[in-house]
Amino acid sequence: MDFSRRRFLATSAVATAALGADAAQAARPKLGEVGAPAPSGAVPSERQWKWHGHEMYAFIHFAMNTFTDKEWGYGDEDPKWFNPTDFNADQIVAAAKAAGMRGVILTAKHHDGFCLWQTQTTEHSIRNSPYKQGKGDIVAEMSEASRKAGMLFGLYLSPWDRNHAEYGRPAYIDYYRTQLTELCTRYGKLFEVWFDGANGGDGYYGGAREARKIDAPKYYNWPSIVKLVHELQPDACTFDPLGADVRWVGNEDGVAGDPCWPTMPNRLYEQAVGNSGLRGGELWWPAETDVSIRPGWFYHADEDSKVKTPARLIRLYDESVGRGTNLNLNLPPDRRGRIADQDVKILTSFGDAIRATFARDLAQGSVAHASATRGSRFAAANVLDGQRETYWSTPDAVLTPTLTLDLAPGTRFDVVRLREFLPLGVRVTRFAVEAEIDGQWQRIAEKECIGAQRILRLPQPIAPRRVRLVVLEGSAAPAISEFGLFASVAPVDVPVIVSTDPSVLDTTKWSVVSASAPHAEVLLDNDAGTIWKQPAPQPGQPANVTVDLGAPTRLGGFTLTPSRQVMADSAPPKGYLAETSLDGKTWTRAAAGEFGNIAYALSTQRIAFPAMVETRYLRLTFAETALPAGKLAIAGIGGFIAR
């Protein structure tokens, strides 16, 4: 059985020692100064405090899967298949920068074990590919391009290796640590090192072609691996296992919990807790929200029409960065080795809108005053100075104060941004924002947790005379570093394309003829975020959908995209029966079988028929779910004329 990071439950039994001592020390006052508040609860380490400031960066999934049209490679790929025709690291980094990203994290090795750098540890690497006659080094090129652009650089090294003969045995751990050491010592400063939670299952394994199970915490000894990274890269945050600096948000849909606390219990990871965090948890273990701009993590031409729109990316920003997490948005290069033109247009529109929205803090020039202040060093005006290290606070006994901004006449805004000074811990439990309109105070938002930042987007602009932050509940005197007001700027729309691959069919021209449950039309809308759901199929009661292709078509096969959303008691189909018809009455079986690893990789399935079929109608039948579940869930279907 294979496991994806969606279902991964922690990978270490030992937590690191108390986090945040450095940051807490920095927050203490100097001799003779008015005393700063004492830290409350868990606090970030110095590298975690820096990490919170990065806010948004790009994941770059580019590897053998780009060329095999898969999401999880088996490990038996020929290195000669890796052959980008026009790799351009500068273009990739520029696309990320256009979106407002502050760094990139490159997949140096995915589950198939193929390495993108000049390592001598394996033959399954770029050394044996046609790229630059085996002399290329994608990691080096991406590192150099990032630094030239003033961007941060990080690396992903899959712990699971479906190619290596010794995976699951002690020798592989030595191999993995050697590879990790190479990456941490050859390519300059890293800001993050990413460990995927998918570990153990079937693979090539040097020709054994078998399934290998592991007990991840015992096998990897994560504390020792995290320690190795910190020794070699002191400023690099490590991702995911208990004891690491950063946790997974619990889904791959780009949505953090509301609220999403940066603290967690000192125990193995639980998916539901990871999404929301735990108020007052022992560990400072903040969430990173990872999601792809496309349904899959690697580039596939049949997903060109399914790139998230600029408006959807704005919503992702609000649901991740706006809830205090960092957004790690995946941008997969195509087979040229570039970010696809459609993706670049969308990223630029998104980035321009975010920059324009937050270019000017409309609270600047207002007068700030508070119901209580700790002293001049912690004045209410500190929330307006744009400085991350200064903040407004109150005497220790005042836990529920109010901070008011008297605005300049005519100030109109629809976005509010709040930040806490994290080196003192999360102090505000529950808060409200109120606005004085026509002489009456109106509550415009009430939430839990401010944390690294809270972005509140109002349904429409308002122009109050005053606006105030009301702390409704807190564990300690607040430490608020920002109370900002902004006017949102909408992104420029980018028209949807079908695909750069002429073999991909346009499903928006299809229509649903019949289905076993309502709302099946969402299967054709090119939006992986809209899900067709129905009760799980039962014996003699399969799920099915019949579509009209609009005209007789020489169909080469179909695609099915499962949902990546975390949905309780839902699963994709286990297998399929595909039938075709020219008249919608007489049906011919075109293909049948099981989807490969659909429940865990959650990747688009591309099923080619044994031969091209002349048809107008396609009927898909699903007899059972891939995992025991109460509901069947599918994000989309598609088709192609040749492969």
Residue 61 has pLDDT above 60, yes or no: yes
d(CA 236, CA 229): 7
Given a cut of 60, whether residue 486 has pLDDT beyond it is: yes
Residue 23 has pLDDT above 60, yes or no: no
In contact, 608 and 559? CB cutoff 8 Å:
no
Q: What is the pLDDT of residue 642?
A: 76
CA distance 325 to 313: 15
Closest alpha carbon to 307 in 330, 336, 280, 275: 330
pLDDT band for position 14 (cuts 50, 70, 90): very low
Q: How far apart are CA 129 and CA 137, in angstroms?
A: 11
| pLDDT score at 600 | 87
Contacts of 378 (CB under 8 A, 6+ apart): 34, 36, 391, 392, 393, 394
For the beta carbon of residue 471, count every other beta carbon within 10 angstroms: 23
- pLDDT for 33: 54
**Mean pLDDT of the 373-384 span:** 97
Can you give the pLDDT at residue 270? 92
The contacts of residue 521 (CB under 8 Å, 6+ apart) are 511, 512
Q: What is residue 171's three-state secondary structure?
A: helix
Is the pLDDT at 254 greater than 90? The verdict is: yes
Nearest CA-CA partner of 560 in 569, 573, 551, 547: 573
Q: How far apart are CA 499 and CA 520, in angstroms?
A: 22
Element (H, E) at 148: helix 138-148
pLDDT in tens, 151-197: 999 999 999 999 999 999 999 999 999 999 999 999 999 999 999 98
Instruction: Report the side by side order of strands in the sheet with 454-462.
Output: 392-393, 479-486, 413-420, 454-462
Token readout for 506 is 């346009």
- Give the Cα separation of 336 and 517 in Å (integer): 41
Q: Is the pLDDT score of 1 beyond 50?
A: no
Angle, CA of 249, 252 and 253, to the nearest 5°: 100
Structure tokens belonging to residue 580: 């075709």
230 three-class SS: helix
Place of tokens 């991406």: 142
Identify the residue whose tokens are 């607040």: 478
Report the pLDDT value the prediction gives residue 643, as an integer from 0 to 100.
63
Output the six-digit token pair for 534: 């129905």
Question: How would CATH label the architecture of 507-640?
Answer: Sandwich (2.60)
DSSP 39: P
pTM: predicted TM-score of the whole model, two decimal places: 0.93
Beta strand 631-640 with 479-486 is unpaired
- In the block, tokens 């995927």 appear at 196
pLDDT at 15 over 90: no
**Has residue 9 got a pLDDT over 50?**
no
Residue closest to 108 by CA, chosen among 12, 214, 186? 186
Contact present, 59 and 329 (Cβ < 8 Å): yes
pLDDT at 629 over 70: yes
Strands 575-581 and 588-594: antiparallel
2 pLDDT higher than 80: no
Q: Peptide bond before 259: cis, by omega within 30 degrees of 0? A: yes
Q: Do domains 53-358 and 507-640 have the same CATH topology?
A: no
Percent of the chain surpassing pLDDT 70: 95
- What CATH number does the domain located at 367-486 have? 2.60.120.260
Instruction: Report CA torsion sign: 608, 516, 562, 333.
Output: positive
User: Is it the case that residue 515 has pLDDT exceeding 50?
Assistant: yes
Task: Work out the end-to-end distance of the chain between its first and last CA atoms, rounded to an integer number of angstroms.
Answer: 29
Enumerate the domain spans of the chain: 53-358, 367-486, 507-640
So what's the pLDDT on residue 601?
A: 87
- Total Cβ atoms within 10 A of residue 231: 10
Percent share of the chain, pLDDT over 90: 91
- Give the mean pLDDT of the chain: 94
Q: What is the pLDDT of residues 103-128, one digit of tens each?
A: 999 999 999 999 999 999 999 999 99
Confidence of residue 25 (pLDDT cuts 50, 70, 90): very low
Phi and psi, residue 270, nearest 5°? -120, 130
| Size of the chain, expressed as the number of residues it contains | 643
Contacts of 569 (CB under 8 A, 6+ apart): 629, 630, 631
At 410 the pLDDT is: 95
H helices of 289-396, in order, are 310-319, 341-358
Unique residue bearing structure tokens 């946790």: 247
Residue 568's pLDDT is what? 77
Q: How is domain 53-358 classified at the CATH fold level?
A: TIM Barrel (3.20.20)
Token pair 């609220």 is found at 259
Contacts of 604 by beta carbon, 8 Å cutoff, 6+ apart: 71, 295, 296, 300, 302, 303, 559, 560, 561, 562
**Does the structure show a pLDDT above 80 at 13?**
no
How many Å separate Cα 119 from the centre of its chain? Answer: 28
Q: Report CA Rg, the chain.
A: 26
Q: Which of 293, 291, 290 is nearest to 332 (CA)?
A: 293
Write a three-state SS string for 542-589.
CEEEEEEEEEEEEEEEEEEEECCCCCCCEECECEEEEEEECCCCCCEE
What pLDDT band is residue 567 in, cutting at 50, 70 and 90?
A: confident
- Any idea which of 32-36, 46-50, 417-421, 454-458 has the lowest mean pLDDT? 32-36
- Candidates 525, 527, 523, 505; CA nearest to 514 is 523
